[in-house]
Structure 1
Amino acid sequence: MKISEQTVLITGASRGLGADIARSFAGEGANVIVNYYQSEDLAHKLVEELGERAIAIQADVRDQEQVKAMVTRAKEHFGQAITTVVNNALVNFKFDPVAQKSADDLEWSDFQVQLDGSVKGALNTIQACLKDMKEAKFGRIMNIGTNLVQNPVVAYHEYTTGKAALLGLTRNMAKELGAYGITVNMISGGLLRETDASSVTTAEVFGIIEATTPLQKVTNPAELADVTLFFASPWSRAVTGQNLVVDGGLVMD
């Protein structure tokens, strides 16, 4: 299926990386669902920018019923089912190396927040769209991960653990859903310059990344966003269960 024929749900799409992913798909003519949790004004401003083939819908991805209602509303609005899901939402986390809790101070509740945002959120969106994807014998699911799983430049314990678990979900879903023409992949960036979540990242950390990255630069959101188009396109039709690291070569996996 061409990207221009797809209806794409992007979670956490009102700002940062999610907004750039929305722009990438809109630029290819897809129907775009800009999911947001709290940033209503930013979401509607983005939809105005993207045009008539975009809609903003509020939903907390951790809430199964809200996700189901969002999917139903999107289907009614566009007159067709969601074909493509990008699980991008980030719940209550900042890449702040100064404020990050140490191993001594971590609590299980810190991990639970990130597991709910990463794994539960992705499970909810996948399940809400799965029946339609199976009937269509087509689906494209992309989960946004992180190269911190392979190279923890900063020990963001709870965030990285949530994303590592999301990689497990990605590969298990790929194994089961491949028979229905549904691919499931992960795209893992490094710390991006600059999103709301990385706005508190210190110059020292960005300097370490630049100095040890072959391309000698920090990846930006637009560069990672464009990679989602590959996994949605016919060019990736034989690719599933993969984790593509997009970080200028810092991690060679």
Structure 2
Amino acid sequence: MTESTAHATALPLDEQIVLVTGGARGLGRAISQAFLDAGACVLVDYHASRDEAEALAAAHPERAVAVRGDVRDRAEVEALFAAGESAFGGPVTTVINNALVDFSFDGDGRAKADEIAYGAFAAQFAGSVEGALNTVQSALSGFERAGSGRIVNIGTNLFQNPVVPYHDYTAAKAALLSLTRTFASDLGPRGITVNMVSGGLLRTTDASAATPAAVFDAIAASTPLRRVTTPTEFADAVLFFASPWSRAVTGQNLVVDGGLVAD
């Protein structure tokens, strides 16, 4: 895409080829399933969850394929895109940066400020920032050929409301928000949108399984909707940013947490 084609019509969801990183379990699985339900073709990226990824792909044999790829490894990411094009006969048009590197939402077990080492930050930055950089840069040539490009990054409401200071995780997601906004500005003239969807604790994913029920209940009582957001509800917002309905929206961070945090 050049500046002259920057206003190309966004593809309908059922014409999109979507890469969901970490797309086999938890929130990633809900996002993959939401796109499949909307008629899209989905490249389900996984790192260790081979069985889950292949089961999801087997349930949608014409429109889903499971491919292992570590988003921190540029060569593996480029192989993901090649596998998607081979499977679906066209380039990836939509990238969902959801992969989470080795993290559990356990407030009692988290590293405190006086003990956390920079290595923990580096690990989260590699997953969130380096991973997104790898997927976005690998996607650009395909976006140009497809005439459409949508990037949705997954963030957190802990930016605004660090009720549990997960120092490394929140810092990495804050950097990803910055990348979302600067890339939106840089890629906008090429007709590519870059947005973020940020949630709180979701009920329930593998990452939030360590959270005590009392914490979920306290969060629910604090939201206007009086309940904790589910992965399926969160995925609905991701689809909005990928759809033609959001064609004039870029560089934005939408908080989806039942109204707990006002952005």
**If the length of structure 2 is used for normalisation, what is the TM-score?**
0.94
Q: Which residue of 2 aligns with 1:89?
A: 99
Aligned partner (choices 191, 197, 206) of residue 187 of structure 1? 197
Q: Which residue of 2 aligns with 1:214?
A: 224
Query: How far does residue 208 in structure 1 lie from its aligned partner after superposition?
Result: 2.5
| Ranges in structure 2 where 5+ consecutive residues have no aligned partner | 1-10
Q: Which residue of 2 aligns with 1:127?
A: 137
Query: How far does residue 74 in structure 1 lie from its aligned partner after superposition?
Result: 1.0
Structure 1 position 223 matched with structure 2 position 253: no
Secondary structure of 1:98's partner? helix
Q: Which residue of 1 aligns with 2:5?
A: none
| 1:56 maps to amino acid | A
Which is worse superposed, 208-217 or 118-127? 208-217
Q: Which residue of 1 aligns with 2:158?
A: 148
Q: Which residue of 2 aligns with 1:168?
A: 178
Aligned partner (choices 25, 37, 47) of residue 57 of structure 2? 47
Which is worse superposed, 226-235 or 57-66? 226-235
Query: How far does residue 236 in structure 1 lie from its aligned partner after superposition?
Result: 0.3
What is the total number of aligned residue pairs between the two structures?
253
Looking at structure 2, the residues matched to 93 and 237 of structure 1 have their Cα atoms a distance apart, in angstroms, of: 33
| Ranges in structure 1 where 5+ consecutive residues have no aligned partner | none
Q: Which residue of 1 aligns with 2:8?
A: none
8 A Cα contact 2:91 2:146, kept in partner: no
Q: Which residue of 1 aligns with 2:6?
A: none
8 A Cα contact 2:91 2:145, kept in partner: no
Looking at structure 2, the residues matched to 47 and 217 of structure 1 have their Cα atoms a distance apart, in angstroms, of: 31
What does the per-residue CA deviation read over 1:107-151, in whole Å, with 9 as the maximum and x for residues that have no partner?
A: 000100100010100110111111121343310000000001111
Query: How far does residue 9 in structure 1 lie from its aligned partner after superposition?
Result: 0.2
Looking at structure 2, the residues matched to 73 and 138 of structure 1 have their Cα atoms a distance apart, in angstroms, of: 19
Looking at structure 2, the residues matched to 150 and 221 of structure 1 have their Cα atoms a distance apart, in angstroms, of: 20
Query: How far does residue 99 in structure 1 lie from its aligned partner after superposition?
Result: 0.8
Aligned partner (choices 88, 110, 124) of residue 114 of structure 1? 124
Query: How far does residue 214 in structure 1 lie from its aligned partner after superposition?
Result: 0.7
8 A Cα contact 1:3 1:233, kept in partner: yes
What RMSD over aligned residues (CA atoms) do the two structures have, in Å?
0.9
What does the per-residue CA deviation read over 1:181-202, in whole Å, with 9 as the maximum and x for residues that have no partner?
A: 1000000011101000000012
**If the length of structure 1 is used for normalisation, what is the TM-score?**
0.98
Runs of 4+ in 1 over 6 A off after TM superposition: none
Looking at structure 2, the residues matched to 136 and 207 of structure 1 have their Cα atoms a distance apart, in angstroms, of: 45
